[in-house]
Amino acid sequence: DSESVNMIEELIQEYLDKPSTIILAIIQACNDIETSAAIKYAKMFDPDGERTIGVLTKLDLVDRGVEQKLLDVFDNKRIPLKHGYLMVKCRTQEDIDNNIELSEALRKEEQFFSKSQKFHSVPAERRGCPSLARFLTRELVRSIKQALPRLITDLRTKINNVEQQFRQLGIEDYTQLLLTNEARSRHLTNKLFTAMQSFRTEIHGVEEGAQVNNPLYSKRNELNQQFYDEMHNCKLDNNKLIQSIKSAMIATQGPEPADYILFRVTKTVCLNYIKVIRTPMEQYLSHMLERTNNVISNVINKVFQARPNLLNQIRLMHENIEKQLKDECYRELELILEMEASFVYADHPLYKDTLKRIKKIHKQTSNDASTVITTVQSARLPYTTATNAATNSMTTSVKRKSGAISEDNDDDLEDDYKSPIKISRPNNPSSTNRLSSLW
């Protein structure tokens, strides 16, 4: 399994990288020594050979003519190591199958070295498994003695750090605190209550603006001003608005009533404006939420930094609450924009009052025009009453054709409306001639 191989290699490299590790490089003498995995790792993590001990094994499987090369390696002539090399001959597979005792295996190993023509010159303290065990024990003791001062220094540093952490928590004699579970629980409860009080005080100080250079209020004022400027830039220009309304009304003229055309234009203008103001509103909300979240996070880190476990729990609670409130704020923003968009479809008094004023102005203009026509005709015709009645009938007809009459003004129009008086032609020829001459 490649995954298992990678995991084992990572574990080996982790141990070999430690300065206190003694590297025992087991090398098969029957293979190429310089390309063996043990030598490769030793060169990688101990290039100077300060921590590596070489062990040559499987000497009984070496081909003829290779013994001298092994002796060169043993004498530190090819791959030098500070601690040098040792030679061992382990049990063969036949010995393992026959369950040879350890003492018998050691006797055979010593017999192999003493009778070998090439390896009998190897010093006794450098050959055999017992010599390897004694050598490793000596090196381990020496390494421990060298590491003891450093270990003592590290332990004292850790003890000082722990005592300092206890003092930060208000504990001078931590040995008494660690005696019973009740003492630990009581102390933790008191510290938790004190920490929550400090957190509440810090948050209230930020909310009420009691701090100098308040981190929340200074940024809030800046965001408010920025939001005001952006919304002001989104304001519709009157000239462009009037021109767009005129163009839209001309483009939408048809068989519909005039009020319907005005509504369609109003709806288009309002919905487009709502789309424009959506972006600055969303940006303002996002920046304000981000700033508030940063301020609260800083307060949490300040109050609970000495209590890592409690800090993690408070952070988790803050993240959950922040996510919930963020969703609620965006839903509220969408609701406001949706209400503004629905405003166009409502029978709102503002729209109705504006329409009434327009109709009233139109009605007054029509009445002024009717008075002028009546005065002129009265100077030319002797039958003033009949002429006024005809003029009123014509004015009423003009009003009804103008398309500006709504249900709100139906009663007013009914009061102004009078039945037209029938104009009868006189039988007097002189009157007829006089009327013809005037016309």
Q: Are 59 and 70 in contact (CB under 8 A)?
A: yes
| Rounded mean pLDDT, 389-411 | 40
Of the pLDDT bands very low, low, confident and very high (cuts 50, 70, 90), residue 213 is low
Residue 413: exposed, middle, or buried by beta-carbon count in 10 A (0-12, 13-18, 19+)?
middle
Of the pLDDT bands very low, low, confident and very high (cuts 50, 70, 90), residue 423 is very low
> Who wins on pLDDT, 205 or 131?
131
User: What does the domain layout of the chain look like in residue ranges?
Assistant: 2-145, 215-345, 349-427
pLDDT averaged over the chain? Answer: 74
User: Is the pLDDT score of 211 beyond 60?
Assistant: no
Range among 143-157, 167-181, 292-306, 360-374 rated most confident: 143-157
- What pLDDT is attached to residue 437? 40
Enumerate helices (H) and strands (E) in the chain, giving the number of each: 16, 3
User: Is the pLDDT score of 226 beyond 60?
Assistant: yes
- What pLDDT is attached to residue 156? 92
The neighbour count for residue 127, using CB atoms within 10 Å, is: 26
Q: Name the amino acid, one letter, at 225.
A: Q
pTM of the model: 0.41
Question: Could you report the per-residue pLDDT of 35-86, keeping only the tens digit for each?
Answer: 888 888 888 888 888 888 999 888 888 877 778 888 888 888 888 888 889 9
User: Is the pLDDT score of 389 beyond 80?
Assistant: no
Second-level CATH architecture of 215-345:
Up-down Bundle (1.20)
DSSP codes joined into one string, 180-197 = -HHHHHHHHHHHHHHHHH
- What pLDDT is attached to residue 438? 34
Beta carbons within 8 Å of 86's beta carbon, 6+ residues apart: 53, 54, 55, 56, 126, 127, 131, 132, 135
- What pLDDT is attached to residue 255? 64
> Who wins on pLDDT, 330 or 347?
330
At the topology level, CATH places domain 2-145 in Rossmann fold (3.40.50)
| Rounded mean pLDDT, 182-189 | 76
Question: Could you report the per-residue pLDDT of 336-348, keeping only the tens digit for each?
Answer: 888 887 776 656 5
- What pLDDT is attached to residue 176? 66
Of 63-77, 100-114, 227-241, least confident by mean pLDDT is 227-241
- In whole angstroms, give the CA distance from residue 176 to residue 202: 32
> Who wins on pLDDT, 170 or 189?
189
- In whole angstroms, give the CA distance from residue 220 to residue 294: 13
User: Is the pLDDT score of 376 beyond 60?
Assistant: no
Q: Are 22 and 140 in contact (CB under 8 A)?
A: yes
- What pLDDT is attached to residue 275? 84
- What pLDDT is attached to residue 256? 58
User: Is the pLDDT score of 187 beyond 70?
Assistant: yes
- In whole angstroms, give the CA distance from residue 21 to residue 79: 20
Q: Quick one: what percent of the chain has pLDDT higher than 70?
A: 68
- In whole angstroms, give the CA distance from residue 19 to residue 81: 16
Question: Could you report the per-residue pLDDT of 144-174, keeping only the tens digit for each?
Answer: 888 889 889 999 999 888 888 777 766 766 6
> Who wins on pLDDT, 206 or 13?
13
> Who wins on pLDDT, 182 or 139?
139
User: Is the pLDDT score of 434 beyond 50?
Assistant: no
- In whole angstroms, give the CA distance from residue 221 to residue 227: 10
User: Is the pLDDT score of 394 beyond 70?
Assistant: no
Q: Are 18 and 143 in contact (CB under 8 A)?
A: no
> Who wins on pLDDT, 16 or 259?
16
- What pLDDT is attached to residue 398? 36
- What pLDDT is attached to residue 96? 82
**Strands (DSSP E) along 83-161, which ranges?**
85-87
- In whole angstroms, give the CA distance from residue 109 to residue 181: 59
> Who wins on pLDDT, 249 or 327?
327
> Who wins on pLDDT, 403 or 273?
273
Of 171-175, 320-324, 331-335, least confident by mean pLDDT is 171-175
Sign of CA dihedral 293, 298, 302, 305: positive
| Rounded mean pLDDT, 285-307 | 81
- What pLDDT is attached to residue 134? 92
